[in-house]
Amino acid sequence: MYIPIMILWYCIAFLISTIENGKNLGEAMIYIEALVFVYWYSGKISLLGRDMEIYENMRTEKNPLYVQGHFRKKFKSHTMDTFFQDLKVFYFSQIQAIIQILLLLLWGISSFFTYKWKNAIWIIGAWCVGTGVIQLIAGQYYRGILLSPAKNSLHSGIKWNLFTNPGIAKATPVVPLGYGFDSFGEMAEHLGKNLKETGYRLRDKKYISDDGRIWFYTNKTEKYLKVFVLIKVNQLEKEQCKELDYVTEAFLNENLGKKKEDFSYSVRCICLVCAEQISLPYRNFVMNAVHQRRRLYYLPAGICFEEGEFEIAEIEMDQLRGVPHEQYESMREEFLSLVDYEQQLSFSGHLAQFRKMKDSHIRREKSQMK
């Protein structure tokens, strides 16, 4: 919609410039369109970079810019809120741009009556350039804030919570792949062979409660530390999730490195939970919408041999663009390749089944409390 309006605007500006004394107004309209493009057409460009653009409007504790107070106060009007940027410096630049637009209009219209303001365009132009430079500097400053905690977090002490808090509970229904294996042994044979062929190496294996086991495979490339975590349980339980968090955090923090040069890569972690029987924690793991972190990308997947189909968690709605979504899609394709997936996606009634299990679990907890 923007491009047709822009073309129409330029046509009107050209027609006005052909009118007697209308040249200045025609030029002013072109400058105004440039300001609108730079300060409001932000759906296509981001001063934070494509890998960080999701943080421009994210008012949550997950955003360091929001936590450190770099966001303006919200307007009471939702329309006003969507019209202006959330980051303070970007918002301040937009306010200046509005004033500059009004002055450009006055400069253009004044040419029909007087030429006293003829040189005012140079002052307005210098102001516009100065505002743009401040905008660029602020973009790099904000980006530095976002990258700084990412570097600091790639060492011992980070809380991953991959299993107890895999994502946002308001997810869309999970899509079973309509493809899987009948037993863990059959699947592990295919998976182990494919992991080895694609450069992964087994780094560690551990036992967890209730005869559960966990295997860690890694493949370090120039850009990524790729980790594949394979978990085998009879039935995934809440206490096991806490144990898996502890074991996985210990392994990842140990293998991420602590030297400055170790922070030049990102981490891509695929977790596959293999359960013999269905359970509510398993459903939560594959059905919560996963939220990708700064340079820490994560793909939860599962297979319950009671049903025999692979399931992959969907990505959070506010990350359906940019680098987080690209990384999610890339890991998804890699996972499908590793498990020899060939068939098409097929929907099922798993959402209704999940709600039924959750209601039953809540009723059981309430009855135990009485």
Q: Is residue 74 part of a domain?
A: yes
**40 and 34 in contact (C-beta within 8 Å)?**
no
Residue 155, both tokens? 């060492």
Among the three residues 123, 153, 183, which one is the final residue of a domain in this structure?
153
Among residues 98, 118, 153, the one where a domain terminates is: 153
How many domains, the chain? 2
Q: Determine which helix (DSSP H) or strand (DSSP E) holds 356, and give its type and residue range.
A: helix 350-369
Assess whether 147 and 206 both reside in one domain: no
Instruction: Give pLDDT tens digits for 203-244.
Output: 999 988 877 899 999 998 877 889 999 999 999 988 888 888
pLDDT for the residue 344: 38
Any domain includes 8: yes
- Name the residue with tokens 């295997």: 215
* Structure tokens, 41: 């057409």
Coil/strand/helix, residue 122:
helix
pLDDT value, residue 363: 60
163 assigned to some structural domain: no
- 89 and 223 share a domain? no
Closest C-alpha among 328, 285, 249 to residue 163: 285
Q: Domain range for residue 132?
A: 2-153
Sign, CA torsion 149/153/157/159:
positive
* Same domain? 102 vs 185: no
How large is the C-alpha radius of gyration of the chain? 27
In terms of domains, do 312 and 237 share one? yes
39 and 137, same domain (yes or no): yes
Q: Which residues of the chain have pLDDT under 70?
A: 1-2, 42-55, 60-62, 78-79, 81, 115-116, 147-160, 165-180, 256-265, 294-295, 317-321, 342-370
pLDDT at position 171: 44
The runs of H, that is alpha helices, within 168-321 are 184-197, 238-256, 280-287
Kindly report the length of the chain: 370
The secondary element (H helix, E strand) that includes residue 65 is helix 64-67
> Are both 261 and 147 inside the same structural domain?
no
Give the pLDDT confidence of 312-331 residue by residue, as tens digits. Answer: 888 776 666 677 778 888 88
Q: Do 265 and 183 share a structural domain?
A: yes
Whether 283 is in a domain gets the answer yes
255 and 317 fall within a common domain: yes
Whose tokens are 């890991």? That residue is 331
Same domain flag for 206 and 339? yes
- Decide if 159 is inside a domain: no
CA–CA gap between residue 179 and residue 51 (Å, rounded)? 33
In angstroms, the CA 191 to CA 338 distance is 6
Answer yes or no: do 210 and 331 share one domain. Answer: yes
In a domain, 160, yes or no: no
Same domain membership, residue 227 and residue 143: no
Same domain, yes or no: 212 and 334: yes
Structure tokens at 63: 């955003």
Whether 109 maps to a domain, the answer reads yes
Residue 162 lies inside a defined structural domain of this protein = no
Pure H helices in 68-205: 78-83, 88-110, 120-153, 184-197
